[in-house]
Amino acid sequence: MSKIRQAEPLFALTNKIRGSVGGIKHKIMVLSGKGGVGKSFISSMLSLALAERNYRVSIMDADIHGSSIPTLLGLHDARHYADEGGILPVEGPLGVKVVAINLMLDSPDLPVVWRGPLKSRAIIELLAKVKWPEGDFLILDLPPGTGDEAITIVQSIKDLTGAIIVTAPNILSEVIVSKAVNFVVKNNVRLLGIVENMSYFKCPESGREYSILGKSTGEELARKYNTRLLARIPLDPLIATALEEGVPYLLAYPEGEAAKAIRSLAGEVLRILQQ
């Protein structure tokens, strides 16, 4: 008679996480109080910018409903495999190791219909059961807001290095930032700083900068919340072109305005971590 396999209890999985990601030096979560501000774009490109400097980087897509890291890294058709030691990360560009629920589905276009407890469980399972390689960075890309996924991550990775909060210049940004800052502070996570994405558009002909989405408030917000503005990333139409081409923007357009800003963000993160 076949035996029904019992699911591993949650506490047992959570206990495994310290060991499973223990060989990765810095674990950084990227979050925002709001959707669509560029968290996934920044997480994925920051991973590549760190890998360009020869750091060993892993990235986990913790956005179960809106998984976009595989697409941003040109890995839409890749799939996870497992061996007896656990789930194997997908090898991405520049050796970045990628982990995403989407890469376990029969088709990446299938919607995931899990609710809160199941989503938390999925994140814990991934953290515990992936064969995370030794490395320098684990970048965690979160879904919008400070809900189940964000709570699960701060509770299950006890030695998070810090958090990066992403915002964009518009009238809601203050509320967005304050929610995210409060979440980070309340959970005793180190706030590495704020990134203002879609900050401005630089005209390639005149070199003039235009505030398309509204006045940049990044500096002001960083001061108000007693943190630093890590970078202002401009709007770059080549990001959409790279997505259409199915190639990672930073590698396809290394001289793009946003690419330069992402590299400077990587430099800033490294500088802060050395302090």
Ligand X SMILES: Nc1ncnc2c1ncn2[C@@H]1O[C@H](COP(=O)(O)OP(=O)(O)OP(=O)(O)O)[C@@H](O)[C@H]1O
Q: For residue 60, state whether it binds ligand X (rule: CB under 6 A).
A: no
For ligand X, the closer CB: 68 or 120: 68
For residue 202, the cross-strand partners are 209
How many residues line the site for ligand X (CB under 6 A)? Answer: 21
Q: Write each residue from 150 to 189 as x if it is in contact with ligand X (CB under 6 A), else as -, in one continuous string.
A: ----------------------------------------
For Mg ion, the closer CB: 7 or 172: 172
Q: For residue 36, state whether it binds ligand X (rule: CB under 6 A).
A: yes
Q: For residue 200, state whether it binds ligand X (rule: CB under 6 A).
A: no
For helices 116-129 and 148-156, the axis angle rounded to 10 degrees is 40
The partner in contact with residue 36, picked from ligand X, Mg ion, none with C-beta cut-offs of 5 to 8 angstroms by kind, is ligand X
Tell me how far, at minimum, the Cβ of 10 lies from ligand X, in Å. Answer: 26
For ligand X, the closer CB: 13 or 259: 259
Q: Which amino acid is at 159?
A: D
Q: Which amino acid is at 2?
A: S
Separation in Å, CA 165 to CA 76, 181, 190, 238: 26, 8, 11, 23
- The residue among 132, 155, 151 whose CA lies nearest residue 143 is 151
Among 16, 28, 40, 192, binds ligand X (CB under 6 A): 40
Q: For residue 38, state whether it binds ligand X (rule: CB under 6 A).
A: yes
* Residue ranges in contact with Mg ion by CB under 5 A: 39-40, 63
Q: For residue 45, state whether it binds ligand X (rule: CB under 6 A).
A: no
Q: For residue 258, state whether it binds ligand X (rule: CB under 6 A).
A: yes
28, two tokens:
């950084």
